Amino acid sequence: MTEQTEYTLGDLDRGDTLDALLDEVRAAFTRYVVLPTPEAVDALVLWCAATHAQAVADHAPRLVIKAPEKRCGKSRCLDIVEALSFKPVVAVNATPAAIFRSIEADEPPTLIFDEVDTIFPARSTKAAENNEELRGLLNAGHQRGRPARRVVGKGTEQVVAEFATFAMAALAGIGSMPDTIEDRAVVITMRRRAPDERVAKFRYRRDQLPLHGLRERLGDVIKTHLDTLAGAEPNMPVEDRAADTWEPLIALADAAGGTWPDRARRAAEALTSALDAEGGASIGVRLLTDCRAVFASHGDPGALKTAVLLEGLKAIEEGPWSDWGRNGLTGRKLGDLLVEYGIKPGNVRFEDGSQAKGYLRMKFSDAWLRYCAPGPAPEPPREVSRPGPVDGHGVGAEGPVQAGETTATGTCKTPDCGRRVAFDLFPHGYCYDHQPAAA
C-alpha cells in the first residue's frame, strides 16, 4: 500500500510558516506528477499559493498546462491545482454567462478548465468562433478593474449590469492555447513519463481530503501576509506583460523568504524564455524578423522589390509564408500586415534602371528596433536610397526614389564604436546596435 502524507484538519494553528508550507505543496506536486523542470514545479506551487491572495493582487495570472499528446499528466496536474487553489470552480461545458455569474468581486474564485483544446482548437472552427466571448472574458480578467457589461432583464425592464471578470484561471489541454491567453499565463509544457519515472497513484476520494487540509493551512497563513502583499513591488526579472503575470507569484515568494525568492525569479526567467523560444511572438513580429533575414540574405540593400521580398519569405523553410493562402503570401497581404507597423511599399527605381513596387529598408529600421530580438548588425550598404522629400509611398517630388543613389555616411555617435552609419537608414546617427530607445 502506498504511504500517504498525513495532514491535520482540525488544528490549523500549528505554527506553520509560509516557506515550509510552500515546500509541502511542492512535495504534493512531485508525489503525483512528473513535471518537466524544477522551475515548472516552483511555478505551480507559487501559482496555487497566489490564488489565496487574489483579493490584494492587481493581476490574475493564468496557468496554462499543455502537452503535445495524451497521457502526459496534464489532467492529473490540474487535479492537484484544483485541490490546492482557493475556491476552485470547475468550468466543464460552462457558458460564458454562467462563468460571469460565478465570479465574485470581493473573493474571486479560481476557474478550472480542462480539455481546453475542444474549446479553442488549433484551427479556426465554428467551436473557436462560438467561444470568442469566453476568450474575451479570460483576457479581460487578467487585470483588475475590467468588468464586463451586459444588458439584463426582460422587455421594458432591461438594464445594463456589470459583471466582474477578475479571477485566476487554470487551463489544461493538448497543444497551444490562443496567443492572447498564453501571453497572460504561466505556461507549463508537460511531457509523457519515461519508463523509469514513478509517481504515486492519485485516488480522488482518498487523496483529496489531505490536500484540502494543506490548502486550508496555506490559506490561513497567507491571510497573515495580505497587508505585506498588497503593498509589494518586487524587483522583477522579466518585463512588460510577463512582469504583470509573475508579480503576484514573486511577491508571495519574497514574503515566504528562504530559498523561494531566488527560485521564483529563476522560474520566471526560465518559463518566459521557453515560451518566447517556442514561438510566443505574434505573426507580425515573426514577419518583421523574417523580412530582416531576407534583407540580410541580399546584402542589406537600400530597397528590395516586393516580388523579391515575397520570394525570400516563402523560401524560409520554418516560416508560414509559403502556405499563407492558396498561393502563399501575396503582395497585398504583405502590405496589410506591415502597414500596422507604419511600413508601406512604394515605387522604387533600382540600380539596374528598373522601376517596381518595393520596400525601403529604412522603413523597417524603427520596427526592427522596437519589436524584434537583436540580430546580427548589418553593415550599412555603400549605395542606399535617399529619402529626400518622400511621401508615404516612397515617391518624392521628382519621381521614384533612387535605390542606387549614394547617401551621406558618418561614424556612429556612440563613443568607441567606429562603425560607419548610412544616415538615410539611421538618421539619428547611431548604428544598428546602438539605436536609442526613442529613435
User: What's the domain count of the chain?
Assistant: 2
65 and 200 part of one domain: yes
Confidence of residue 38 (pLDDT cuts 50, 70, 90): very high
Classify residue 1: in a domain, yes or no.
Answer: no
**Of 254, 277, 300, the domain-final residue:** 277
CA–CA gap between residue 378 and residue 293 (Å, rounded):
10
Each residue of 130-172: pLDDT tens digit? 678 888 888 888 999 888 888 888 888 888 888 889 999 999 9
The end-to-end CA distance of the chain, in Å, is 67
Say yes or no: 231 and 348 in one domain: no
217 shares its domain with 180: yes
Out of 277, 295, 317, pick the residue that ends a domain. Answer: 277
361 and 254 share a domain?
no
Task: Confirm whether 5 is domain-assigned.
Answer: no
Residue 102 has a pLDDT of 86
For residue 326, what pLDDT is reported?
Answer: 78
Q: Is residue 74 situated within a structural domain?
A: yes
CA pseudo-torsion sign 19, 22, 28, 33: negative
DSSP states along 168-237: EEEEEEESPPPHHHHTTEEEEE--PPPTT---PPP-HHHHHHHHHHHHHHHHHHHHTTHHHHHT-----S
pTM: 0.68
- Does one domain contain both 112 and 219? yes
Domain span including residue 394: 283-434
Residues 332 and 269 in one domain: no
Q: What's the pLDDT at 432?
A: 61
Predicted local distance difference test score (pLDDT) of residue 268: 95
Same-domain pairing of 31 and 101? yes
Query: In terms of domains, do 105 and 61 share one?
Result: yes
**Structural domain contains residue 6:** no
Residue 151's domain is classified under what CATH number?
Answer: 3.40.50
Q: pLDDT band for 429, please (50, 70, 90 cuts).
A: confident
Residue 188, all three cell numbers: 507549463
Q: Do 255 and 314 belong to one domain?
A: no
Here the cell at position 156 is 421594458
Residue 217 or 283, more confident: 217
* SS3 letters across 274-303: HHHHCCCCCHHHHHHHHHHHHHHHCCCCCE
Considering the domain architecture, whether residues 103 and 219 belong to the same structural domain is answered as yes
User: What's the rounded mean pLDDT across residues 401-415?
Assistant: 58
Q: Extract the C-alpha cell encoding 197.
A: 519515472
Average the pLDDT over 40-55 and give the result.
96
Give the pLDDT confidence of 101-121 residue by residue, as tens digits: 888 888 899 999 988 877 777
